[in-house]
Structure 1
Amino acid sequence: MSRQVFPFSIVQDGKPSNGLAELSLLNSNTLRVKIVPDTESLSKQQMLSELVVLPQLTVDPLYSSTEQMRSEHLNIAFSENGLSISTAEGELLRVAQTAFKQQGDDSALSQHFVSSGEQAFYGLGQYPDGIFNYQDQSREICQSNKGIAAPLLLSTKGYAVLWNQLAFTQFTSQGEGFSFSSAAGECIEFYVIYGPEFDQVIQHYRKLTGAAPLFGRWAYGYWQSKERYVNAAELVATAKNYRDKKIPIDNIVQDWKYWGDLGWSAMQFDEQVFGDAATTIAQLHDMHFKLMVSIWPIVGKGSPVFKALLENGYLFETEHWADGHIYDAYSQGARDIYWQHLKAGLMDLGVDALWMDGTEPEFISTQNPKDGVEFCHQQRDTELGSWKQVLNGYSLMTTRGVYEAQRQQILQGAEDKRVFTLSRSSYLGQQRYAAACWSGDISATWQVLRQQIPAGLNLCAAGLPYWTTDIGGFFTSGFGANFPEGVDDDAYKELYVRWFQYGAFCPLFRSHGANTPREIYQFGEPGDWAFDALLKFDKLRYRLLPYIYSQAWNITEHGGTMMRLLAFDFRQQAQLHNISDQFMFGDSLMVCPVTQAMFHQQSLQQQLIAPEHLHTAEGLQGISEQHFSDDQFKQLVATQVVESIDGNWAGGPPAGLPLSGYSVRWQGVLTVPVDGEYNWLIHANDGVRFYLDGKLLIDSWQTQAQLNHKASCHLEANQQYQLVVEYAHWQGSSKCSLSWAHAGIAHQQTQLYPAEREVVLPAGLAWYNYWNKHCYQGGQTIAMGTPIDIMPLLVKAGAIIPHGPDVQYHDELPSDPLIIEVYAGEDGRFCLYEDEGDSYRYEQGAYSEIVFEWDNSKRCLHIAKRSGSFAGMLQQRTFIVHLISAFDIQRQTLVYVGEEQSLQF
């Protein structure tokens, strides 16, 4: 066996010490390294490390000695003073200083690496701040509302490091060195994976951690979600509206509180509001909808699942803000109880998919990830060990529970339909549990849209292939967002359309959010610019389903990646390494989202306050943050001076202030730029009062209502006015924002910026504009037009892209005829994958593949003999082939009956 254990120098509690290193070649591309302070620790970590990485068999190397190991691709030289990993092209990295430090009952540990030469670093998970290339950057690797921990680091030198620790981890890159430091662990364990191409790296990562099962074909269509459908009538009416208006869609989502007073996430429908839920779900199924329902790891007091988990000691002590407790997903017994109630209350009624919210887990609603970490660390130990050791693995374990239980049900004769779970958090290996993820409760701003692109790309680069975003941003008001009028605001419609265009080329295509409606038909009627643009991209997604579903098969069968940062395909082109707003979607399409406003200006120029999280462990603390409008609008707004931000308690205001009974008072000064009528708007979810120079303009002391409150007044130029907002709120998430607009500044319908964006074309091949088929040579930067219904979409030469018919849901019609677009200029290959659509019989070979190959020099399209079959397969197909070149478009049609054929052009 290719395993070596040898003495290794470490630093223990700040002092040089003698440790042990164990090297194991798992295959010719993958090396496992364990470093421990003593022999006893070598076996302790095994149980936790195999939560992420599946048990592996090692292979014999070509050569091994007491100082070297060698495989076909890797050369490893080692001694007690260090470890060097290289290939025939040179050294990849060196394992430098290793440190252990005892902290209470846990041992913190860190590993420093040296890797010289120019390179870019990607991966590590999903985070909201827009960092793309981690060279000379740092990252706290932990779960949060908007952060997903996945410590797989990819280098453009052709290797990856998988850091196999579940603890809170700090990554730091500086110069030619980088390090991982974890808060707890028995031993250091990491894997070095050599590609050198990123696709090869991810293939080996999936061999280590498990393949990503194929979702039902419906899951790659459009999903409609919002916070929230309040009853069965609204849910069914929304579905019916989509069908009546012939807008393509497959999945509708029921968000929280469907359980009524049964207790948070009781995983039962409230019969008074939803009636017989099985009948409602059957109605949706009759309209060819799938239903996804949200659940949480928090179970509310009084619910049957709470009682069962409490009786067996499976709940953590800290009370969640939703009047419930989090269950111990690290326990098989707890997962079994959780599933039993989930099955009886939801799955047995016909629910098709699960949305597992708050899986960080969310002990506290916070924008600061470290707050969530600290709350986890305060809990009693999990069944698998201390929270410090297993922190980042909660999502992995709770999604494991529902996946394994559903697969077991199928083995026992239940309906053979594929598992689909959407989880707010994820971790390395979670792809094997059919669990996708999304980017949390983001805000509706152009900056956030821009930052979502590198967030998703780095998550997919860490080996987790299925990701989505709240199209349009979860919050449209507060938390930095400033669109309180939502779908009634053309500026928001423009942002939503651009986000939707981007979302149509994410692995999963999903709209969700609060504050304003999200259904496509809420954005206008046919002929309205926003509605037409949305419908165009919705239909395009469905026409591309044969392409997308084939890419999904590549993920499952070959360890592929659908949403690909440019280094996946152009690793050697250093000029592309920092381009974070262009990406490949599958093998052939380059997506270039539009991330700035071009046509409509926000009608509310200034947002003065946006309290985010007013609750801490001690209670209400006051307004924590202010948000101001985007830079491009600053010239339109007044100079603002914030004199004070006071958090005052309900016991009474400071002397001289007019009112009591509020929880927060915000005070500011506004210097007015021009005379005229000013409109004021407060968006709040509880009672508010607004004063201008002591005069009460808005007095709305309602409770628990998502409302807009408006007022207007005349202000004089160059005068200063005192502003006071009083806000009363006591439970749940706090939302309050103040915006203003000068009535004379009309809502802009004219173009703000040139309707175009720059696109960098990778060198070495030609690129086609998908929309007009114009051909460009690679290796240049071009300006591409961006009218509201166009997002730049490029197709690489040699691409073969199938297009299906227009449909209202994924299987409304057979995928026939297929238009096969062939883009000349390079040789090309595409494998069309098809199966039953929503069963696991594909795992036993019930599927078909048809391979298309384009020989550019011979101008010949070869269609191979079909391999495989499945129930319901079309025996005869019509292919309408479009050959697209720099000069013209040629068309030929053929009837295909499964035998080898060729088309000559």
Structure 2
Amino acid sequence: MSAPAVFHVTADGLEIEVQFFSPEIVRILKYPAGNAVEKRSFAVVMQPEPCRFALKEAEGRWLLTGDALQLEIAQADGRVRFLTPEGGLLLAEKEAGTVFTPECYAGERTSRVRQAFRLDGGEAIYGLGQHQTGRMNQRGQRLLLSQINMEIAIPFFLSLKGYGVYWDNASPTVFTDSARETAFDSELGECADYYFLGGGSGDRVVANMRRLTGKAPMPPLWTLGYCQSKERYASQYELVAAVEKYRELGVPLDCIIQDWQYWGNTPELWNSMEFLNPAFPAPEKAVERIHELNAHVLISVWPDFGTETVPYREMKERNFLLGFGANMSRNGRNYDAWNPDARELFWKLLERHLCKAGVDGWWLDASEPEQPFPYTQNMWPTPDVFDTPTSAGSLRRVRNSYPLVHVEGVARRQKAADASKRVTILTRSAFAGQQRTGAFCWSGDVDSSWQALRAQIPAGLNLSMCGIPYWNTDIGGFFADREFRGGVAEPGFRELYVRWMQFGMFTPMMRSHGTFSPREIWQFGKRGDWAFDAIEACIRFRYRLLPYLYSTAWEVAKLDGSFLRPAALDDPALAGVGDEFRFGRALLVAPVVEPMYVKEGVTDFSRTGSRRVKLPAGKWFDFHTEEPVAGEVERPAPIDLVPLYVKAGSILPLGPEVQFSTEKPWDDLELRIYPGADGEFILYEDAFDGYGYEHGEHSEIRFRWNDAARTLTVEDRCGSYPGMLEQRRFRVRPVGGTEQAVTYGGEALAVMF
């Protein structure tokens, strides 16, 4: 028989609603019988599609069969099991797994809510946001999911069995996994509300998470170049001089970032959102000069304000301030980003001085928001802070969604105000759905240490598996003085920085930043010095990868793909491997995350360092030697080399040597073919900024490699945009073979080898 899209029953004192949002996405809602529930989701934007399912009753259960999933609901207790269309078990709720515990917070009667599941013993799961544990597989641990510096809380996990679970609750939540259960336990909630996302593969589950919570837009091309920052440029002259020095050296650069205190250096003037510091007397001229040098400027903005600032006064007058702020603003306060009128005022304040100065984007720092107390995995905030009222309820109710509403408030208003340039935001925290803002998250104020470098790889991969594709780290780590008190003067720090740079060039944003030691390339010596040369090689290779990077961004935006992927999505045998990763469709990166050449301050390049790499099943090529490899390999890793592998069947486009991302058109591209399998690649192009692409102003050129025939087919170009190249040259070379150059004018052609 047919049933409506929503199936509603009562069992064991619980109201249970099942709603198919799509054949692969199902919402489960449970709450005590007789209660009325009005639930707001900050993350979910998908509207349910018309779906039909068959309903049967048999042997004490209801069986709902859709096109891609089956659900069993026990009539005795309402326990739900999720199965494949063939009846294979994917996930089951635990017996008595839905628990409501009455609570009273600040006079509000509500409940603590818990939902427990049973997973297979050897089942690997990823996600839960970004954490610094160094673990790839998230089984067997207890995590506090609450936004803090370096920790991003997203109550979602993806299983290598080909499904995901999003627990739709924005209050602080404890995730626990043990041999007995896998559970989300939230401080506050009137209902248990979660989404089961099928798909059969990790990539499909990530795509469904984007369907549920929002698609990611295209970034501007320049954000995929190199970004230089430090804590902090003390004057506008120092800021401009840094860009001029890069141009003088001929080292590519696309962005410079101005960190805090351009407003002054007293807590009372904290985050005034205007240039009150005398060292910045003419910010418009400084930004204009940087633009003349073909670079861009991001500027740091916080969500809290010192007590003597105009934003503090205007926010306070309209009752838009919360009852707490960060330590650095002393008695300052965060604004209530859940209030749409407060978000509007925040944007108007940005427009008043910073947009006027011509900056190109925002560094929305401390977007957790930062709070005035220690807050770690082992320490909860004081209850009175969690009881802070907001326009959306108590802070306890909505805590984890702050970065989403804050960042989205800026992103939406900037796009509405000026569609000529794409919104560019760098931010320290995130929540489910934040990919729809296009913001780049970064991993916070991590230490400059080898342990921290190792931890960044699983941190970024797990965040990516939550559907958030744009991520980066402070290259070199933020706090240099904790292990390297001499900073850049120490050979040990230079080795760490070079290896971090080699990792950073394979993240969606390549950005150097940190404190207690400068980070510009000339701080590491001059050409001919090992550290300078290794850093420059990374930056130059990043720019050669721009056609690949920009096309990967299009795959993210159009097809819900990912920049960063665990190798286990291709080979489950690598489920626990957290020190290597896939970067787009073609590449596998195995960064060096252990010191090899510097010991007790002595640099020794006479020995040959190496690292072991576990390749996913199939045929691969060593990028540097172009030799075919497979399985587990021991790869020499001198200081100027990062182990890098290319999947057989890949078509890798490499662009020209440039000083900035748009210096030269892509009219003469190298196409490297890695034989051993059929393959394809879509070269995507548009105006590289603005939103014309959303209205069809873009082009795609599809390349297909037939391995048996050893033929590359370049198909007819699809689409167009103002300023598009009408004719170009492709230099095609199968690795180990001879290059052929062809002229392409938009019509299909074939290149045979």
1:769 counterpart residue number: 622
Residue 55 of structure 1: CA displacement? 4.5
Segments ≥4 residues shifted beyond 6 Å? none
Q: Are 1:756 and 2:751 counterparts?
A: no
- Number of residue pairs matched by the alignment: 733
Q: Secondary structure at the match of 1:314?
A: coil
Counterparts of residues 136-175 of structure 1 (less than 5 Å): 136-175=140-179
Matched AA of 1:20: E
Q: Which amino acid aligns with 2:587?
A: L
**Alignment of 1:475 onto 2:479:** yes
Paired residue type of 2:545: L
Matched letter for residue 167 of structure 1? S
CA deviation digits over 1:194-213, x for unaligned, max 9? 11111111111111111111
1:895 aligns with: 743
Contact 1:116 1:176 (8 Å CA) reproduced: no
Quote the offset at 1:588 in angstroms: 0.7
CA offset at residue 379 of structure 1? 4.8
CA-atom RMSD in angstroms = 1.5
Give the drift of 1:462. Answer: 1.1
2:304 to 295, 298, 307: 298
State the match for 1:835 in structure 2: 686
Residues 78-117 of structure 1 aligned to structure 2 (within 5 Å): 78-80=73-75, 81=77, 82-87=79-84, 88=86, 90-96=88-94, 97-104=97-104, 105=108, 106-116=110-120
Q: Distance in 1 between matches of 2:93 and 2:430?
A: 28
Q: Post-superposition shift, 1:181?
A: 0.7
Q: Supply the distance in 2 between the matched residues of 1:376 and 1:226 (Cα, whole angstroms).
A: 36
SS of aligned partner of 1:497: helix
SS in 1 for 2:492: helix
Residue 39 of structure 1: how far off its partner (Å): 4.2
The answer to whether the 8 Å contact 2:375/2:381 transfers is no
Aligned to 1:823: 674
Partner of 1:387: 395
Partner of 2:723: 872
Q: In structure 2, how many angstroms separate the alpha carbons of the residues matched to 1:283 and 1:289?
A: 9
Aligned to 1:75: 70
| Counterpart position of 1:670 | none
- 1:132 equivalent to 2:140? Answer no
Asked if 1:806 corresponds to 2:660, the answer is no
- 1:274-317 deviation line (CA, Å, top 9, x unaligned): 11211111111110111000000111111111110000111123
Corresponding residue for residue 516 of structure 2:
515
CA distance in 2, matches of 1:459, 1:553: 19
Q: What per-residue deviation string (whole Å, max 9, x for no partner) do you get for residues 561-596 of structure 1? A: 1111112333xx3x2101100100000100000011
CA shift, 1:65, in A, is 4.5
Contact 1:444 1:473 in 2 (8 A): yes
Whether contact under 8 Å (1:364, 1:375) holds in the other structure is no
Taking structure 2 as the reference length, what is the TM-score of the superposition? 0.95
- The residue type paired with residue 102 of structure 1 is P
C-alpha distance in structure 2 between counterparts of 1:866 and 1:788, whole Å: 41
Alpha-carbon distance between aligned partners in 1 of 2:598 and 2:238, rounded to the nearest angstrom: 31
2:26 aligned with 1:5: no
Judge conservation of contact 2:304–2:325 (CA < 8 Å) in 1: no
How far apart in 2 are the matches of 1:531 and 1:41? 64
Residues 262 and 277 in structure 2, CA contact (< 8 A), matched pair in contact too: no
How far apart are residue 799 of structure 1 and its match? 0.6
Contact 1:61 1:69 in 2 (8 A): no
* CA distance in structure 2 between the partners assigned to 1:338 and 1:254 by the alignment: 19
Alignment partner, residue 584 of structure 2:
586
Which SS does the other structure have where 1:346 is aligned? helix
Aligned-pair CA distance for 1:372: 6.5
Question: SS of the residue aligned with 1:813?
Answer: coil
Alignment-derived partner of residue 316 in structure 1: 322
User: What are the residue-to-residue correspondences of 1:342-361 with 2, within 5 Å?
Assistant: 342-361=350-369
CA contact 1:23–1:31 (8 Å) conserved in 2: yes
Which amino acid is the alignment partner of residue 750 of structure 2?
S
Cα separation, partners in 2 of 1:367 and 1:757, compared to 1, 3 Å: farther
Letter in structure 1 aligned against 2:574: L
Range moving further from structure 2, 63-72 or 305-314 = 63-72
User: CA–CA distance in 1 between the matches of 2:336 and 2:310?
Assistant: 16
Please, which of 246, 249, 252 is the counterpart of residue 248 of structure 1?
Answer: 252
CA distance in 2, matches of 1:376, 1:276: 43
Q: List runs of 5+ in structure 1 lacking aligned partners.
A: 10-17, 603-746
**Which residue does 2:562 correspond to in 1?**
561
Matched, 1:283 2:289: yes
1:319/1:463 CA distance change after superposition, 3 Å: closer
Contact 2:325 2:372 (C-alpha < 8 Å) held by counterparts: no
- Larger CA Rg, structure 1 vs 2: 1
- Taking structure 1 as the reference length, the TM-score comes to 0.79
Q: Any idea what SS the aligned residue of 2:371 has?
A: coil
Q: Which amino acid aligns with 1:773?
A: E
Per-residue CA distance 1:65-98 (angstroms, 9 max, x = gap) = 5622221210011133211110026011112311
Q: Which moved more, 1:352-361 or 1:262-271?
A: 262-271
**Secondary structure of the equivalent of 1:443?**
coil
* 1:692-737 Cα deviation digits (max 9, x unpaired): xxxxxxxxxxxxxxxxxxxxxxxxxxxxxxxxxxxxxxxxxxxxxx
Percent sequence identity over aligned pairs: 37
Amino acid at match of 1:330: W
Distance 1:792 1:875 in 2: 37
SS state of the match for residue 272, structure 1? coil
Query: Partners of 2:421 and 2:638 in 1: how far apart?
Result: 41
Q: Work out whether 1:363 is the aligned partner of 2:371.
A: yes
> In structure 2, the residue corresponding to 1:805 is in which secondary structure?
coil
Q: 1:147 and 1:753 mapped to 2: Cα distance? A: 38
Give the residue type in structure 1 aligned to 2:503.
Y
> Deviation digits for residues 792-843 of structure 1, max 9, x if unmatched?
0001100100000000100001112100000000000100000001110100
Q: How far did 1:177 drift?
A: 2.8
CA–CA separation in structure 2 for the residues paired with 1:893 and 1:37: 69
The aligned runs of 1:259-278 (5 Å cut-off) are 259-260=263-264, 263-270=269-276, 272-278=278-284
Contact between 1:598 and 1:752, CA under 8 Å: does it hold in 2? no
Secondary structure in 2 aligned to 1:758? Answer: strand
